[in-house]
Each structure stands twice: as C-alpha cells, then as structure tokens.
Amino acid sequence: MADGGEPLSDHKLCGFLQAVLSVASPPTLAPGTTCSLFSEGGITGFRSDDGTSLIPIEDHNVKGEVDDSVVSTSNHDGRGGNQGTAASKKRRRGVVLVNGSMSVVHQLHALVSHKCLKIRARVVNVSMREHKGVRVVVLVDVYLPIEVWSGWQFPRSRALAASLFKHLSCNWEMRSSLLAFDQDTGSYHADDECIWGYSDCHVLGCKMHYITSKSDNKMLFNLHEIFKNLPSIERQEKVCSTRIKPEDDSLSPGIWDLADDVLTNVLATLGPKDLLRVAATCHHLWSLAVSIMPCMKLKLFPHQEAAVEWMLKRERKAEVMEHPLYVGFSTDDGFSFYINVVSGEISTGMVPLINDFQGGLFCDEPGLGKTITALSLILKTHGTLADPPPGVNVVWCMHNCDKRCGYYEISADHFATGNFMSMWKRFIGQNVRRGKASSNKSPPDFSLVENSESFLSKQHCSVGSDLPSESTSPSCVSSQIMSGTSSLSMQVKDVLGRARRSSHVKRNLLDTFGKDSGCLNVSIATETENVFYMNTPCPSPIAMEDVSFPRLLRSYKKSRKENAGCSDSSETWVQCDSCRKWRKILQISKLDANAAWFCSMNSDRSYQSCAVPEESWNYKQRITYLPGFYTKGTPQGQEQNVTFFTNVLKEHFTLFDSETKKALTWLANLSPSKLDEMEYAGLRRPLFDTHRVLGKAALGCHKIFQAFGLVRRVEREV
Amino acid sequence: MVGVKKKMVTLVSSDGVEFVVEKRVAEQSLFIKNALNEGGVEEKVMIPIPKVTSDTLSSVLEYCEKHASATEFQENEIEEWDKEYIEKADLDLLYYLLQASYSMSIMGLMELGAKKVASLIRGKSPQEIRELFNIKNDFTPEQEEEIRREMQWNYE
C-alpha cells in the first residue's frame, strides 16, 4: 500500500493514473502528500498522512450503483444498512464488468485488498470552486509483484483488474512532470477545467468514460453511437503515377501509350478470370483492375469499392495478428507486459498473437448499395477457389483427359495431426448382387447430399472444367466455415465450382459406416427362389482390423466359389467423386484405391460422362443372392437364425424395392468389426439422411433394419 | 440556290495532313462536334487534331464515315463491317486507334478497340499476356509469390 516514499522492493511500478476526489475541509494539503486507502462505514476513499479524508465525488445518479458494486466486489458489507446484503449479493454478478464507469477508487480498494497489486498515492493538485467544494487530484502509482515476469497472474478479481488497467498510463515522462510540483509548494495547475469535468470513473482525463451527462448515458446504447465509434477502413488513395513499362526500352508504340481510361475500358470487358490474369502482369494493370468489377456495367461508388476491397482482404488468407484485447504496458524501468483488458490475464515477453478469422460483417446504412457491393464481390472472386487449409495435400488428377482436377481431404478428427491422406479410403463399391449400390439415392451408398451447398459444389466439380474440386473425407463433419459471399456465389448459376471459399462435404457411406457403425455379424448367404436362408460362406468373422476394399473383394471371391449360383456377384462398382454416381467398371486392376475416380476415367465408353445417368437397377429382378444375418456369438447358419432372417424379410416383403435391396446388400457387406462397432454406436447419419431424402422408400429399409435390431443412433448434432 | 450544299470540315492531323470531310462524318467525334459548336457553324473550319497521325486519322475517318451513314445499313451489316474493320488493324494501329478514339471521344470506336484488345487477352496466362503486349513484369518476386498464392487455383 501507500507506504511512504521508498520504492517497493519486490514490486515494479507498472503504471499510474490520476484520480479526482473531493475533500470536505478546506485544502491544507501540500502537493506530494502521500495518502492511503481506507474503507469504513461504506465509504471508500483515500486518507492523507495528515488525516484529511479524500472521498469519491458524490454523483447522485451513479452513487447507488457504484456503492453496490463495491460492496460486492470488495466483500465489504456496507453501505449503511439501507440495502441488505442479500440484495447486494444479487446484483453481484455482472455489475463489475457491465458498469465500466465504476469509480476507480473502489476498484483500487478492491484490488489492493485482494492482494492483486499495491499502490502509492500522492496528492498532485488541488482545485477549489465556490459552491462546488474542493477537488483533489491524487496520483496513484500501481505496482505489480515482480513475479509477473515468471508467470504470476492476478489471484482474483481479474476482470476488475482488467478494467482498472484500461485507465493506467505508462507515460513516465508525464508522471515525473506531475511530480515536479513537489518542489514549488502551493502552486497547482492553473488549468483545472478538466478536474471539474470529471467522469464516472473519477479518473482525470479519462477518454473512455468521457460521456457523462445524463442524456449521453442513454446514447451509449444507441446503435448509431456504437457504430460511429467502430473503427472503419480508410480508403487508401491510389497512387496512380505508375505506367506500364515495356519489356525492352523500345520507343515503338505499345499498350503503354494508352490512357488509363482506355485501359479501364479494356479491362471492363474482361471476365473475372481474365481480369485476374491481366492484373497479375504488372503493377499498373493491377492497380487499375482493383476498381473494376467484372461483368458489371455499373460503376461502383467509392464507398462500395472500398467495401469490396475490404471484403476481398477479409476473404483471403487469415493473418496472424496481435491480440486486440491485449494492451501493452511497460514498467518505468522498461519491462513490457500485456494485459487482456477483458479477462485480466497478464502476458509477458512477446505480444500475444491471435489468428485472424476469415470473413466478416458487411454493414451499411440502408440504401448504400450493399446488394450491389456483395454482388461485385462475387463477380470479383468468380473464378478463384479457396485456398486449401494449411497442411493439406492437394492431389491433382486429370479429368476428361485434358482438365486438371485437384482435391484434398480433410478430416475433423485428424486435423490436428495433419494426417489427412491416411484418412482417405476410396470406397470402391463392390457389389454383391446384380444391381448395385446406386447413386446418392440408394441406401447402400448413403452418400447423401448433405446439404444444398455440398450438393452444389458437387455439381460444380462435375462441370468444373479445369477447376479443382475440394472434397472432404468421409467421416469429417464439415470443418470448414463457408463465408457468406461464397456460398452465395456458388449459387450463381455458372460459377462452375470456383467459389472462393467453399466447403465440400464428401461422404462415402461405407467409410462413414466403417467408422461408426456396426451391429449384427453378417455373413453372406445365398438365396434361391425368393426364399432367404442362411448359407454362411462369406467374410467369416475374422477380425479385420481395417476393412479395405481389396480385402472385401477377396473375401467376396471366396464366397463366390462356394456359391456357384451367383454369377454376377463380382461386379465392381465405383463412385464418381464428382457426380456421385455409381459406375460399374470392368478392369479392377486400374483402380487406385487412394486416388479420386471420375466418370471420365471409366473405360466403358457409354458411361464416361457425369451427365450419363446411372445404370438402372432392375428391381423386378429376383433377388438371387442376399446376405443373411446371425446373432453375434452364435455360429453361423443355425436354424433359428435362418428362420429369423427369413421371417423378417417375409414380414416386410411389401417394403421391398430397389432401395431396400441396396440397403440390405450394403449391410451384408459390412465387415464384422464394423458391425461390432455398430452394436455400440448404432446406425448413424446415413440412414437418417436416407429417410429425409427418400421418404417412403427409405422408410422400408429402415423398418427392416429396425427389425434386425439396428436402431438409428440419436445424433447429437441433429 | 439548288440542292443542299454539304457542309465540309477540314481536319488537320498531327503531321500536317489535311482531311476534308463532311460535317456529319466529323461529328461522330464528340471532340470535333464540341469544337464546331463552340466556334459557331462556319464553313471551311480547320480543326487540328493533335496527337493523331495521318495514317490513324484516315482509318478513324473510315470508321466515322461508315457510322455517319449507319442508318442506311442493316444493323448486322454495320456489325459485320465493324468486325472486319477492327480485324484488319494490327496491334500498333489498334493502339493508335484506341488512343485517337479516346482523344477524339469516339465512343463506338473505343469500345470496339477495347473489345478487340480484350479478345486478345482472353484465355491467356499472365506470362502470355506480357509477351503479347511486351509488358515488363515489375513485380518483385515476393509480390509475385503473393499474387500466385492468391490466384493459385487459377494460375496455370
């Protein structure tokens, strides 16, 4: 506390402030008189060495509130009894933070009594006015323990400390000039105007709480006032002294002879993509291109241009910046530290950094043309795609033999480890039956359209010529945030998958299920004459750690041998990564389970385009091959299992359609380990999606699944 | 007096060649039109056209003549003519035409030329554009890297 003149040995002077207090008696205080905090009978204030009490200025409008907050924060039961403790406790929460203009004297008292800091207070100015009493300015030095530099934090009342530190200054020169008054006794600042124009916080010259008149208090919550105080971007004046420079120093005529207006005219006729390319040629064209909104006949107003520029900046790669909440301070001997002005955390050494986010809010007054501005942004970014998130590998492959497609995998689970590619398991739909797992309508596929956005993006990929498609790997719940404008731009009809920031959610069903589903053990059974019974060849319940395609295929082939009846069972189906259609392929050897596959890679000429509809599923056809089920732990092929299975299917006979068949096929294809998992996890999302998208049809298989004891897991996120 | 005497205007190119054209042809250029209005409707006016050489001016006047009588032609006929006209201009003439149309404020010709230049640019990579127009790449490697990153998906 204020303990005479000696510096505090284990503390460092970290900042100072000047508080304005009132004094009842006529001023007999000499400058430099030290004072200490006191609190009795509900009144907190300073007491000078000679016994004069300096108390906070009474403000009838705020007094009650201030006192309450002090009572609660400093754990002093007080305020003279006209307010009970219960009442003040009730108000305790929030009052400190919300009431930013709480008197600094109370804050200091609370913090000192909580041993958060130490102070030294000295009178530096006294001012007297008739009818208004006497005001005293006290210079308060705030000391923090030396342990701050070894990780010390405020033991409590951090928010309070944070709000106190907002008032602190580290202008040490100013402090010493204030203390210079020690020498010339009796003379105070001539200009005492600011002493009388005090604010609620009682800090001299406080900029934050300057608006103190009653009407202004209301204005604080006026939206307009708030927005007025927000920092806005200032448009940089374009320095247009540049010219296009010729490659050689030839004096022949060239594009550099053209006036800027002509060049602007030229650029304005270009599409977004070409505009970008031209802009990349030289400085001058770059600066000209900035203000051009491709495909737009309108000329934007300067404020709109500035907004587009700003939004473009926000959409680009997020920067790492200094944490805006940390305010830097330095001690009088030059040690710097930072305090979070909201949470009160202290940080020393480096400035705390924070990753800026992408995107932002675009707010303008009504009528200023937000729509046009937003459209301009879309047009401006039309043709560019989002940067891939850091750490992902973009895989390029050829689409339609001449167009390059890029994609990357991203997974929520593996984001931290950066282990993206291993997440990627291409599901090659190896169908067991004639017919197939088909399209995103089919249950076995379950690659349902997650939402309209991802659907759109898929569309884009399929058309998206030389543009890469981004895809996220199966189990990933979309981990990218899509900025508003791009989602909009994706809906612009011919965007062709080149939104700036788009997130695609790709779900391959089996993968999804491979992770979190599993229930009954499955074995593959054959079926004759419409009756299902257990035969149990099949991927016997060997422990398969990680079911990958080749494995399934092998086991499948094995089962085929045993069931000579199913000749068509070795069909291999692949799902196009762009249009999600299933294609039957002839040469399995060509498949690379780690790479994307597109319709264009199909060796079957009739199915080489994403536009070609999927091979139809002939559901009139009899099921000649269908897997069967048996309860876990029991041997395969038991009579009761066969009966159970048959019964279930018979019961739901009416529900059979292509979708149901696909669903069953899918279920049969699950590996035992997956099924084990499903037992705990339950059926997951795909079924739900099926239900949503397909309605009735999906309901069929859903019912059958339920009959088998597979219940959809309750999704947390749904 | 018989018949309507065509009002003629004399234009002087930067290299001193005089062109005598009908007023309505010359008035395709807003610049000349304004000059004529300011100077009162006098015959035998001499209007100097600075910065435009005789070669360019003759080409510009060819365009003006066609468009001055545009009403006599079908819409698509004019379009066809425009296309042919700009097609035969080489790159140097194109610059001159653009510059001339700008200084003489002939909006139609400027647009035509701008479209032509744009069509030359379309579909080319930045490097190709630089080579085409002989533009010096004045970005520092860092700036270029920045730009490349920005248009990464679009660059090649």
DSSP string spanning A332-360? Answer: TTS-EEEEETTT--EEESSPPEEEPPS--
The partner residues of B8 in beta bridges, in order of sequence, read B22
The answer to whether residue A300 scores a pLDDT higher than 60 is: yes
For residue A409, is it within any domain?
no
A100 in any annotated domain:
yes
Secondary element (H or E) of residue A527: strand A527-528
Where does B8-122 sit in CATH, by number? 3.30.710.10
Q: What are phi and psi of A79, to 5 degrees?
A: 75, 30
What's the CA gap between A281 and A256, in Å, rounded? 13
The predicted pLDDT at position A262 comes to: 83
Instruction: Identify which of A265, A276, A278 has the shortest CB distance to residue B110.
Output: A265
- Same-domain check for residues A192 and A47: yes
Taking contacts as CB-CB distances below 8 angstroms, the residues of chain B near A497 are none
Predicted confidence at residue A645, as pLDDT, reads 65
Q: Which residues of B touch A246 (CB under 8 A)?
A: 134-136
Same-domain check for residues A145 and A162: yes
Assign B47 to helix, strand or coil: strand
User: Using CB atoms, which residue from B129, B136, B152 is nearest to A277?
Assistant: B129
B59 CB neighbour count, 10 Å cutoff:
20
Instruction: Among A225, A255, A282, give the residue marking a domain's end.
Output: A225
Q: State whether B95 and A257 contact (CB < 8 Å).
A: yes
| A406 within a domain of the structure (yes/no) | no
At A77, is the pLDDT very low, low, confident or very high (cuts 50, 70, 90)? very low
Same-domain check for residues A186 and A249: no
The reply to whether A138 and A209 lie within a common domain is yes
Question: Residue type for A375, please?
Answer: L
Average pLDDT in the A470-476 region?
Answer: 35
- Cα A658 → chain centroid: 41
Geometric angle at alpha carbon B14, from B13 and B16, rounded to 5°: 65
Q: Which of A61-70, A305-314, A346-355 has the lowest mean pLDDT?
A: A61-70
Whole-number Å distance between alpha carbons of A668 and A674: 11
What's the confidence (pLDDT) of residue A207?
67
Nearest to B135 among A269, A277, A281 (CB): A281
Burial of B132 (0-12, 13-18, 19+ CB in 10 A): middle
pLDDT at A86: 40
State how far the Cα of A481 lies from the Cα of A503, in Å rounded to an integer.
Answer: 7
Q: What is the pLDDT of residue A447?
A: 32
Kindly state the average pLDDT of the residues A404-408: 68
Residue A239 maps to a domain? yes
Most confident of A246-260, A270-284, A605-619, A627-641: A270-284
Q: Do A262 and B99 touch (CB under 8 A)?
A: yes
Distance CA B91, CA B132 (A): 10
Q: What are phi and psi of A506, to 5 degrees?
A: -110, 130
C-alpha separations of A440 from A181, A659, A693 in Å: 83, 11, 10
Q: What is the 3-state secondary structure (H, E, C) of A486-526?
A: HHHHHHCCCCCCCCCCCCCCCCCHHHHHHHHCCCCEEECCE
pLDDT tens track for A179-205: 776 555 444 554 566 677 656 677 777
- Residue B116's φ and ψ, nearest 5 degrees, are -65, -45
Single-letter amino acid, residue A696: K
Q: Is B108 on the interface with A (CB under 8 A)?
A: no
**Tokens for B91?**
């790159």
In this structure, is residue A191 part of a structural domain? Answer: yes
On whether both A689 and A564 belong to a single domain, the answer is yes
C-beta atoms of B102 and A244 within 8 A = no
Other CB atoms within a 10 A radius of the CB of residue B91 amount to 16
Residue contacts between A and B (CB atoms, under 8 Å) = 117
Instruction: State the best of A257, A281, A282, A495 to mutate against chain B, taking most chain B CBs within 10 Å.
Output: A281
CB contact under 8 A, A268 and B95: no
3-class SS of residue A346: strand
Residue in A516, A527, A534, A518 with CA at minimum distance from that of residue A629: A534
The verdict on B58 touching A (C-beta cutoff 8 Å) is no
Residue A14 has pLDDT above 70, yes or no: yes
For residue A331, is it within any domain?
no
Same domain, A248 and A312: yes
Residues of B in contact with A385 (CB under 8 A): 152-154
Percent of chain A topping pLDDT 70: 40
The pLDDT, as a whole number, for residue A282 is 82
Q: In this complex, do B154 and A245 lie within 8 Å of one another by their Cβ atoms?
A: no
| Residue A431 per-residue DSSP state | -
Top-ranked range on mean pLDDT: pick from A363-367, A371-375, B53-57: A371-375
What is the pLDDT averaged over residues A405-411?
66
> In this predicted structure, what is the pLDDT of residue A194?
67
Domain boundaries, chain B: 8-122, 126-156
Are A199 and A281 members of one domain? no
CA distances from A254 to A210, A249, A448 (A): 60, 11, 56
Asked whether residue A527 is domain-assigned, the answer is yes
* Range among A266-280, A638-652, A701-715 rated most confident: A266-280
User: In this structure, what DSSP letter does residue B67 have?
Assistant: H
Is B30 at the interface with chain A, CB within 8 A? Answer: no
Residues A52 and A130 occupy one common structural domain = yes
Answer yes or no: is pLDDT of A599 > 50.
yes
Task: Read off the pLDDT band of A616 (50, 70, 90).
Answer: low
> CB–CB of A244 and B136 under 8 A?
yes
Q: How many residues does chain B have?
A: 156
Confidence of residue A484 (pLDDT cuts 50, 70, 90): very low
* Region of residue A163 (left: phi > 0; alpha: psi -120 to 50; beta: else): alpha
A498 neighbourhood in chain B, CB within 8 Å: 153-154
pLDDT at A154 over 70: yes
d(CA B17, CA B42): 21
Whole-angstrom Cα distance, residue A68 to residue A42?
A: 10
* ipTM here: 0.82
Q: Report the pLDDT averaged over residues A154-168.
A: 84
Indicate if A204 and A240 belong to the same structural domain.
no
**What is the per-residue pLDDT for B150?**
66
Q: What is the mean pLDDT of the segment spanning A147-168? A: 84
Q: Which of A258, A274, A281 sits opposite B95 (nearest CB)?
A: A258
In chain A, % helix, strand, coil (3-state, to 5) comes to 35, 15, 50
Rounded CA gap, A490 and A73, in Å?
53
Q: Which residues of A touch B (CB under 8 A)?
A: 244-248, 250, 252-259, 261-262, 265-271, 273-274, 276-283, 285-286, 316-317, 383-385, 387, 406, 467-468, 498
Average pLDDT, chain A: 61
Q: Where are the beta strands (DSSP E) in A101-160?
A: 118-129, 133-145
Say whether both A306 and A157 belong to one domain. Answer: no
Question: Side chain identity at A12, as an amino acid letter?
Answer: K
Residues A642 and A533 sit within 8 Å (Cβ to Cβ): yes
CB-nearest to A274 from B99, B121, B153 is B121
pLDDT tens digits, residue range A108-139? 888 888 888 888 888 887 777 777 777 888 88
Q: How far apart are CA A544 and CA B20, in angstroms?
A: 94
Which residues on neighbouring strands pair with residue A397, listed in sequence order? Answer: A405
- Structural domain total, chain A: 3
A88, part of any domain: yes
* Interface contact flag, A255 B135, Cβ < 8 Å: yes
In chain B, the residue whose alpha carbon lies closest to the alpha carbon of A250 is B134
Q: Which residue segment(s) compose the domain that A655 sits in? A: 513-570+616-707
Distance CA(A253)–CA(B55), nearest Å, equals 14
Q: Percentage of chain A with pLDDT > 90?
A: 1
| A648 and A685 inside one domain | yes
Specify the pLDDT at position A284.
82
**Cβ distance of A282 and B134 shorter than 8 Å:** no
pLDDT tops 60 at residue A695: no
Ranges of chain B with pLDDT below 70: 1-6, 39-45, 149-156
What is the separation of C-alpha A4 from the centre of its chain, rounded to a whole number of angstroms?
52
Task: Write down the residue that tokens 């048959």 correspond to.
Answer: A646
Asked if residue A236 and residue A221 are part of one domain, the reply reads no
pLDDT above 60: residue A76: no
Return residues 77-96 of B near A (CB < 8 Å): 92, 95-96
Q: CA nearest A258 in B: which residue? A: B99
